[in-house]
Amino acid sequence: MSTISGSRSDRIVQLLDEPAEHRDADWLKDALQQAVLLELATLPPYLCGLWSIEDPFAGKRVSEAVRRVVFDEMSHLGLAGNLLTTIGGTPRLADAQLVPVYPGPLPGGVRPELTVYLSGLTKESLALYADIEKPEQPLTRAGAHTSIGAFYTAIQEAFRRHPELITGGHQLTRQMSHHGQGNSIVPLMSLTDVETALDVIKEQGEGTSTSPQNPHPGESGELAHFYVFQEIFHGRELVRTAEDPDRWEFTGPEIPMPRVLPMGVVPAGGWAGDLAPDPATKDDLDAVDRAYSAMLRFLEAAWQADTPIAARNLLNQSVGQMRALEVPSRTLMERPLPDGSGKTYGPQFLYRPAP
């Protein structure tokens, strides 16, 4: 039987230890629930980085790049949920025991050396973002490791062995092609649909084994997420410096780091103790937590809806709550912490059960 493990478990590691012949319907349901949580886990840190950019127009080069990654990750979350429901599973998101917490590990024990945290956009946070997305063998440096892409490859192989599990049930749809090729959340009705969805998730994050470019871009020449974050970190565009074999280096035109609001690192459990907020700041923190929690509840309910119309309405409500996060989050990033550090508050993305 499949199980649902919390955000601090090593369930993905356990699943990958299972022999290929044991990767059946229950294995896939378990793995895809972990995939849903994994995709969700990237959104709060990336959003904090994006919203901390002081002037998105002055810092347009970086702001647009990070924004594209965020929309890709939203799409990946939708596709991961559809992968689970097409085999008869039900995504679980609205549960304090499951929702990723910060600072903390990635769900499932992927990349256990990483501690994912919430802060503004800095060199340190950019390095973290790149580490989250790192391919098994980056084209810009040597070294192999277990990656998120390797996990999705295992899922892909399990689907190939069991295409009969694909039912096309309880699928969400949302047109997002204006954010890039493959970014729409589409019904997964066949093995071909499933293969395409998994390729989008893997390759938008890591690129391919031969190119750092995103094969499903919004704009021509767009890079996969790992290399997007590496470009901003290095402050230079990644360019091909040799061919046959290809060589890529960060030696292109300069990419200036934008001015950012100095959001501090959110401590475990949120802002409390010596960093406890004043009433106005607490109201904004609560507003973000409530909207985030409602977003997850609406999204979970959308995948359980009995009709496409009901699913679409619930998905629209989830998107509305997502949009409600930005204003109070940016307001928080303008409020100084009381410790004299020069840092500011920021959203803590804590799950709050429905009243």
Q: Alpha-carbon distance 95 to 117, whole Å?
A: 20
Least confident of 8-17, 53-62, 231-240, 309-318: 8-17
Evaluate if residue 145 carries a pLDDT over 50.
Answer: no
Tens digit of each residue's pLDDT (9 = 90 or more) over 175-218: 876 655 567 899 999 999 999 999 888 877 665 555 677 666 66
Q: What is the pLDDT of residues 326-340, one digit of tens each?
A: 999 999 999 999 999
The CA distance from 211 to 223, in Å, is 9
Most confident of 139-153, 193-207, 303-317: 303-317
Calpha distance 247→238 (Å, rounded): 10
**Mean pLDDT over residues 135-163, rounded?**
71
What token pair was written down for 280? 């106005």
- Going by C-alpha positions, the residue among 280, 268, 277 that lies closest to residue 344 is 277
DSSP per-residue string spanning 294-332: HHHHHHHHHTT-SSHHHHHHHHHHHHHHHHTTHHHHHHH
Share of the chain above pLDDT 90, in %: 72
Mean pLDDT on 244-263: 91
Distance CA 139, CA 249 (A): 9
Residue 129 vs residues 125, 192, 227: alpha-carbon distances, Å: 6, 30, 10
pLDDT tier for residue 223 given thresholds of 50, 70 and 90: confident
Count the Cβ atoms, other than its own, within 10 Å of residue 253.
9
Instruction: Supply the pLDDT for residue 138.
Output: 42
Asked if pLDDT for residue 300 goes beyond 80, the answer is yes
Per-residue pLDDT, 2: 47
CATH of region 11-266: 1.20.1260.10
Q: What is the pLDDT of residues 71-129, one digit of tens each?
A: 999 999 999 999 999 999 999 999 999 999 999 999 988 888 899 999 999 999 999 99
Say which DSSP state 97 is in.
Answer: T
39: tokens are 């995709």
Measured between its terminal Cα atoms, the distance across the chain in Å is 32
Q: Report how far residue 263's alpha carbon sits from residue 40's, in angstroms, rounded to the nearest whole number.
A: 21
Backbone angles phi, psi at 242, to 5 degrees: -160, 160
Q: Degrees (nearest 5) of the Cα angle 322, 109, 144? A: 105
Other residues' Cβ atoms within 10 Å of the Cβ of residue 6:
16
Single out the residue of 11, 15, 268, 233 nearest to residue 129, CA to CA: 233
User: What is the rounded average pLDDT of the residues 286-313?
Assistant: 97
